[in-house]
């Protein structure tokens, strides 16, 4: 389904009731330097270095900026791309997709809808059932083990 009120037609209309807005200095106070670089400056961690690249414990992956649940461990898979990969989001509407024309490529950037933090990118080379690969920076995530 496409949504005509959004520039690329891919996102549902935003409900801003829980939107988190902070100043640059406030983000710097609550995020580590690496988290700040990735979430607020659209940086990328080096491949195969992130804490969650080879992590397969059962639980939930949350946005490191605002704590919103983004992915479940049962959608994570070994993509061998160097970053954590998921084939689906926990709930539609929790991320924003937008065209990214940086680095001489055209990709689809993935951001947290709640705080606007850069998470990574989504590609159409993932496994069934979605065929998607959400390639996400470990530093953009926190992990909550099942049963907590």
Q: Which residues are catalytic?
A: 135
User: In DSSP terms, which residues pair with 76 in a beta bridge?
Assistant: 86
Contacts of 43-51 with C-beta under 8 Å, sequence gap 24+, read 43/118, 43/137, 44/120, 44/137, 45/83, 45/137, 45/138, 45/139, 46/82, 47/81, 47/82, 47/83, 48/82, 49/138, 50/83, 50/84, 50/137, 50/138, 50/139, 51/138, 51/139
DSSP-assigned states of every residue in 45-68: PPTT-STTTT---SEEEEETTT--
């Amino acid at each position: 389904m496409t949504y005509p009120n959004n520039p690329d037609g891919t996102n549902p209309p935003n409900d801003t009731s829980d939107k988190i807005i902070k100043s640059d200095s406030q983000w710097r106070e609550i995020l580590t330097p690496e988290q700040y670089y990735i979430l607020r400056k659209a940086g990328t961690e080096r491949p195969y270095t992130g804490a969650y690249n080879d992590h397969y414990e059962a639980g939930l992956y949350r946005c490191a900026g605002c704590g919103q649940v983004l992915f479940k461990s049962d959608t994570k898979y070994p993509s061998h791309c160097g970053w954590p990969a998921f084939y689906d989001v926990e709930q539609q509407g929790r991320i924003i997709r937008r065209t990214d024309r940086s680095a001489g490529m055209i990709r689809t950037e993935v951001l947290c809808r709640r705080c606007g933090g850069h998470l990574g990118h989504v590609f159409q080379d993932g496994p069934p059932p979605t065929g998607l690969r959400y390639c996400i920076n470990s530093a953009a995530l926190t992990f909550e083990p099942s049963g907590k």
